[in-house]
Amino acid sequence: MKFRDGMWMTAEGFNVEYAEETYEITQTEKGLSLLCPTRKIFTRGNTLNTSTVTIDIEAAAEGIISVETTHWAGAQNRGPHFELFPDGKPAVEAKISSDEAAGTTTLSAGSLSAVVTNPGEQHAFDIRFRGAASSSSSGARESESDGTRHLTALLGRSVGLAYSPAWSNAMQTGDMRDFSHYMFTQTQLSVGETVHGLGERFGAFNKVGQSVTLWNADGGTSSEQAYKNVSFWLSSRGYGVFIDHPGRVELEVGSERCTRVQTSVEGQRLKWFLIDGPTPRDVLARYAMLTGRPGTLPAWSFGLWLSTSFTTSYDEETVRGFLEGMRARGTQVDVFHYDCFWMKGFRWTDFVFDAERFPDPKAQIARLKASGLVSKVCVWINPYIAQHGAAFREAAAKGYLLRRKNGDVWQWDLWQAGMALVDLTNPAAVAWYKACLATLLDVGVDALKTDFGERIPTRDVAWFDTSVDPERMHNYYAFLYNKVVYEALQARHGNNEAVLFARAACAGTQRFPLVWGGDCESTPEAMAESVRGGLGLGLCGFSFWSNDIGGFEGSPQPWIYKRWVAFGLLCSHSRLHGSSSYRVPWTIDADDPSDQGCSAVLARWTAVKTRLMPYLFAQAAVAVQGGLPLSLRAMCIEFPDDPTSWYLDRQFMVGDSLLAAPVFEESGEVQFYLPQGSWTSLFTGQVRQGPGWFTETHGFDSMPLYVREGTILLLGKKGVKGIVYDYEADVEVCVFQGKPGGWSSSSAAAVVDKSGKKLGTITVGEDGELQGTDVLRGAWSRSAVDALRL
């Protein structure tokens, strides 16, 4: 939302008032409170007929400071509110100091400080934020003369309030029913600074120059809309900003004033947290502490998931035929997913299997698992309840559905006829919904795909919890929905065995993994969109992410399908899923039997991921602990001092040590960038020296997959089928330009078992010999890099 018409004029239809000076500073228990009038105060008379903005700056945790701006403090602060510090708020000391010579007052929260210009004759408004000194030589994060790093600032006319429509007489604001009221702040952008994150966004990776609206929507992957709007962004200068507002947030990222990021919300308050680095890893670790660390996922979820697809026709015979066909062509499926039509049409979601196609679902699922064709089963659900199912009648009668203000159940015909929405602010409705989910778990369901949850109404609605604001519930509903389903799965399967496959999300939803990228087209451009979406979401604390291999809409050409298979099997989680066409490989290319056919390529890349599991599962634990993406991990997380890394949106890291560059051209040509150091191709053993750009051409059975210098990579036994096996047994230990000793991630390998328990760490000693191998079992071996083949 733009409040200005260029540099000099206010946008048509708005009154805009800015905090013009810091008139008074009051020390509080947690920090500083600034009284900032919207005109400069030269005489006592200037204090009359003048609005003020109160700015409360507080130490929230070590390296985290909150900034809250308020116009009218008497306005209700309605919920819902993000669950902050869910694992407990750490103690922090708010240190306040004054520098009379400089005319400033400073609040410090560990490494982070806010420096405020004192009231005085200059009538100044100036708040500067400084972070911990960095050892980096990067010009993007140069140190100040006092050893701190300049992060950002709130300078003149950067904090304020706005009315729409514009009023001509202040008396009109006595009745605010005819006005919208906004609060905004503008943080300074430095020269060359880039901005990333804000959820799973499919446009340009660097958000500078973009107008971004944080409002969950079912918009596919080819628009400015997003399923997962997360009010957090990461700066290349080594800090992050979390906006503590679950409703609509409008951002102008260098798009109204080129040197500022403007954040605006409707209401009387705007609060955000500034999070210090200096590295992206540091920022994400603190952000995870603030909004919650990702949940831990079981090993089986990392395997290949096969879906029935959306509108296709299927029954038990179809399902078994798919799985037998996959096995016959060399691919083991770990999870089978039943999409929408496991239920009858016009009855989604009533939790009842279509009796005509699935007369005995419990027995069918048991037969599938007993056959070894699949180990786990997932089914599709959503929080919408169509009126033609028995679930609707019960929920409506008992008051479990969202209502209109006149008491009617809120309904519409978009998606399902007469569908309603489960009111998750009603504890009784939550208990009922969990009981419905339990009926699915009773028949052998292991995971739940929590689809939809974006189209949450805000007008003419009355939530059971009258304290919540419908506008703030729109995005936040995704958090409640996924939390309820996750808790139901935890209650049945255990805390670390719950698995979602969710589409909608907001800040904090990373606690309930996992998510996938929504409805993409079957084109190389859509695959690139998916990469950008995964990269952005990974910079918002989400460790686990997937997408629809081959694309959701349309029917992929064989070459696109095969290139997407390679990309999809290097994501943390991998699923074959489509809309109106199947994604089993033999339907894509008329069952081409060659080693470059779809079936062979799928078997190849499934085997690659299976063999990588000793590495991937160990890295998953590191990702969860640090709030990091396992894959897709943006290059800037691992190489923040390389300026190029902040612009790379067609490649990613898989954990700490593997670099992957998907192929988007039918010819197999791909251009990619290697940061400084030695990099070894996992497939050929070829060593390249970075930094630099490289161009290669690949068949469908390979792609640029390079191993970082100093890596000790554990690979599972060749030929193993199924993603779950003993990750400490019969492994290959591969050393890539190994560095003697050391316990850094690049020269040590954690060994975990299939439950995720850490058994030990393998390093390379001064004599070049492996140390810590006593935790390995079976016929493990050390491989020479130049002989490595998968």
Average pLDDT over residues 92-96: 96
At 789 the pLDDT is 59
Beta strand 376-381 with 447-450: parallel, antiparallel or unpaired? parallel
Its CATH class, for the domain covering 4-193+236-291, is: mainly beta
Cα 455 to its chain centre, rounded Å, is: 19
- DSSP string of 656-709, one letter each residue: TTEEE----STT-EEEEEEEEEEEEETTT--EEEEEEEEEEE--TT---EEEET
At 744 the pLDDT is 44
Q: Where are the domains of the chain?
A: 4-193+236-291, 299-626, 651-787
Q: Catalytic site residue 423?
A: no
Q: Residue 141 pLDDT more than 60?
A: no
At 188 the pLDDT is 98
Q: Residue 2 pLDDT more than 80?
A: yes
Domains 4-193+236-291 and 299-626 share a fold: no
pTM over 0.75: yes
At 737 the pLDDT is 79
Its CATH class, for the domain covering 651-787, is: mainly beta
Distances (CA, A) of 352 to 362, 482, 492: 12, 20, 19
Q: Residue 302 pLDDT more than 60?
A: yes
Classified as helix, coil or strand, 42 is coil
pLDDT in tens, 411-423: 999 999 999 999 9
At 768 the pLDDT is 86
Q: Residue 144 pLDDT more than 70?
A: no
At 145 the pLDDT is 63
At 666 the pLDDT is 97
Average pLDDT over residues 259-272: 98
- Report the phi/psi class of residue 595: left, alpha or beta, with left for phi > 0 and alpha for psi in -120 to 50: alpha
At 147 the pLDDT is 75
Average pLDDT over residues 377-384: 97
Mean pLDDT score across all residues of the chain:
95
- DSSP string of 310-366, one letter each residue: SS----HHHHHHHHHHHHHTT---SEEEE-GGGS-TT-TT-----TTT-S-HHHHHH
Between 43-57, 678-692, 726-740, the lowest mean confidence (pLDDT) is in: 726-740
d(CA 190, CA 93): 29
740 confidence band (pLDDT: 50, 70, 90): low
Exposed/middle/buried for residue 139 (C-beta within 10 Å: 0-12, 13-18, 19+): exposed
Average pLDDT over residues 744-773: 89
Q: Catalytic site residue 451?
A: yes
223 confidence band (pLDDT: 50, 70, 90): very high
745 confidence band (pLDDT: 50, 70, 90): very low
Beta strand 758-764 with 748-752: parallel, antiparallel or unpaired? antiparallel
Q: Where are the beta strands (DSSP E) in 38-148?
A: 52-61, 64-70, 95-99, 104-109, 112-117, 127-131
Indicate the residue type of 607.
A
Catalytic residue among 17, 451, 521, 656: 451
At 139 the pLDDT is 40
Q: Residue 597 pLDDT more than 80?
A: yes
pLDDT in tens, 615-638: 999 999 999 999 999 999 999 999
Q: Catalytic site residue 317?
A: no
pLDDT in tens, 457-489: 999 999 999 999 999 999 999 999 999 999 999
148 confidence band (pLDDT: 50, 70, 90): confident
Q: Which two tokens stand for residue 315?
A: 């029954």
d(CA 595, CA 765): 41
Catalytic residue among 193, 266, 519, 730: 519
738 confidence band (pLDDT: 50, 70, 90): low
Domain 299-626 has CATH 1.10.10.60: no
Catalytic residue among 252, 454, 469, 521: 454
Residue in this structure with the two tokens 């228990």, named with its chain if needed = 29
At 140 the pLDDT is 42
At 20 the pLDDT is 97
